[in-house]
Amino acid sequence: MTRRSQSPSPGRPPGFIYHKNRRGILRRGQSLIFHCDDVPLPKLAEKYGTPLYVYSASMIRERYVTFDDAFREIPHTICYSVKANSNLSILRLLARHGCGFDVVSGGELERVLAADRKAARRVVFSGVGKTREEMNAALKAGILLFNVESESELWVLAECAARLRTQAPLALRVNPDVAAETHPYISTGLHKHKFGVPIRNARALYAQASGAKSLRVAGVSVHIGSQITDVAPFGEALARVAELVRDLRADGHTIEYIDAGGGLGIAYEKPDPNGFSKDVTDYARALAEPLRGLGVHLLLEPGRSIVGPAGALITSVVYRKANDGKRFLVVDAAMNDMIRPALYSAYHEIVPVLLGENDGKPELVDVVGPVCESGDFFARDRELPPVEEAALLAILDAGAYGMALASNYNTRPRPTEVMVSGKSVKVIRRRERVSDLMRPEV
């Protein structure tokens, strides 16, 4: 199916936008130059090379504040999902605004502590396979909450806490068996998924947990999946959790927290200029209604919705190629730099960094990388303005699950990452060298 580029979509958030070029060496007949905040992307590409990840600090701040403000009527803590993008500078930026963090590994916990050790008390630890070493580290750091996902994990946590002579605050992650329309790889709320415990078994497990001196029952957790754009399943899941909370309190448990997880999606294809604010408001309303009168502290785990549109992957066209009329743009970024299109057939808007007044008729192309796999593509049958070899393209909405999922496949060093704030530019991760990749090998 043909995909059309609108260069970029009119509803795109303002962190990445075209500005008219009125002067300077970059003009050369071009009328529009793509910017991150106030910085032209060609200057960044010239200085730091490509592929290059670029993030807008102002957009990350703005989206966090929008999220926080939408829940102002409810006691809450936003626990940014570190797996979406774990760069230390992004974690520090959010920590300075009082953000909490959702981690799913000991390594992510170490990143949060490196960014701001005091943030430990705002950390929730999720994931189905926590090891003893990870639990011990989290207990010593004094995190807010463990989201426990199985009976076996419950007793391992009790053992770790007992050895450290402390109490582990916990919530059981319950599986509400609520279906959400999303990719099957990122749906988590059905009984067939590996996550959580069946909600019907929760009361018995809470009763067992309350009998362990080293455990402190503190909440209930739920998460039904990612990239969900219909808020109704969130409300349905929270209604089932609210019913469970009432039963647990009747059983004598103190339930302080409900962790609603994350999963709120973003509009990759057709962004609306007012869409994010409206979506978050609708999301807040869907969660608030079932919780009315419960008097709980709500924990939220957004990731993609905060950092996704705040990042772009800048890449250079290495070759133009045609096979029996099929046209390709071979770029220097690849599936190892951003795997979402190859993994999920995910759509990302792609735009030329320089746009001319008379660029000619759009053409139908595949945008592909140099990795030796047919699945190494960013777009198929995409309609784009004609671009020549050495031209720059921006792959948008790459702030979440871009660099976080990057690899060194084909012994390809991972890209530089830069953060832009207004006119200021900061390198937040240097480009790897092949020597960096070989250094740990014996």
Active site residues: 372
Tokens 């957790």 label which residue? Answer: 221
User: Which has the closest alpha carbon to 275: 74, 4, 10?
Assistant: 10
Contact indicator for 145, 257 with CB cutoff of 8 Å? yes
Q: Which amino acid is at 370?
A: P
Contact indicator for 209, 167 with CB cutoff of 8 Å? no
Question: How far apart (Å, rounded) are the C-alpha atoms in residues 238 and 341?
Answer: 31
CB atoms closer than 10 angstroms to residue 364: 14
Cα distances (Å, whole numbers) of residue 372 to 142, 377, 419: 46, 11, 31
- How many residues are given for the chain? 442
Where is 248: in which H helix or E strand? helix 232-250
> Which residues in 308-330 are b (16+ Cβ under 10 Å) and which e?
bbbbbbbbbbbebeeeeeeebbb
